[in-house]
Amino acid sequence: MEANNPRHEPVMVGQVMAALAIRPGAVVVDGTVGLGGHSERMAEAAGAAGTLVAFDWDEAMLAHAQRRLERLPLRKLWFCEDFRAIPETLADLGLRADAILLDLGLNSAQVDDPLRGFSFLQEGPLDMRMDRGRGEPASSLLNRLALGEIEDLLREYGDERFARAIARKIVERRKLRPLRTTRDLVECVLEAIPPRARDPRIHPATRTFQAVRCAVTGELEGLEDALVEIGRCLEPGGRLAVLSYHSGEDRAAKRAILRLAEEGFEPVYRKPVLPEPEEVRRNPRSRSAKLRAVWLRSGGGD
Binding site residues, ligand SAM, CB under 6 A: 8, 10, 32, 34-38, 55-58, 61, 82-83, 103, 105-107, 130, 219
Q: Give CA–CA dist 208/193, Å, rounded.
A: 11
Number of residues that make up the chain: 302
How large is the angle between the packed helices 182-192 and 163-176, nearest 10 degrees? 130
Write down the least CB distance from residue 280 to ligand SAM, Å.
16
Write down the least CB distance from residue 30 to ligand SAM, Å.
7
Write down the least CB distance from residue 20 to ligand SAM, Å.
12
Comparison of 221 and 276: residue with beta carbon closer to ligand SAM: 221
Comparison of 220 and 234: residue with beta carbon closer to ligand SAM: 220
Comparison of 10 and 204: residue with beta carbon closer to ligand SAM: 10
58: alpha, beta or left, given left = phi > 0 and alpha = psi -120 to 50?
beta
Write down the least CB distance from residue 86 to ligand SAM, Å.
9
Comparison of 165 and 227: residue with beta carbon closer to ligand SAM: 227
Write down the least CB distance from residue 148 to ligand SAM, Å.
27
Comparison of 151 and 250: residue with beta carbon closer to ligand SAM: 250
The CA-based diameter of the chain, rounded to the nearest angstrom, is 64
Q: Give CA–CA dist 30/36, Å, rounded.
A: 9
- Point out which residues pair with 242 in neighbouring strands: 102, 292
Comparison of 7 and 281: residue with beta carbon closer to ligand SAM: 7
One-letter amino acid at 29 equals V
What are φ and ψ of residue 242, in 5° steps?
-130, 125
82 CB-contact burial (10 Å; exposed 0-12 / middle 13-18 / buried 19+): middle
Q: Give CA–CA dist 292/238, Å, rounded.
A: 14
Write down the least CB distance from residue 289 to ligand SAM, Å.
9
Write down the least CB distance from residue 69 to ligand SAM, Å.
11
Comparison of 2 and 172: residue with beta carbon closer to ligand SAM: 2
Is residue 79 within 8 Å of residue 33, measured between CB atoms? no
Is residue 65 within 8 Å of residue 39, measured between CB atoms? yes
Over its C-alpha atoms, the chain yields an Rg (Å, rounded) of 20
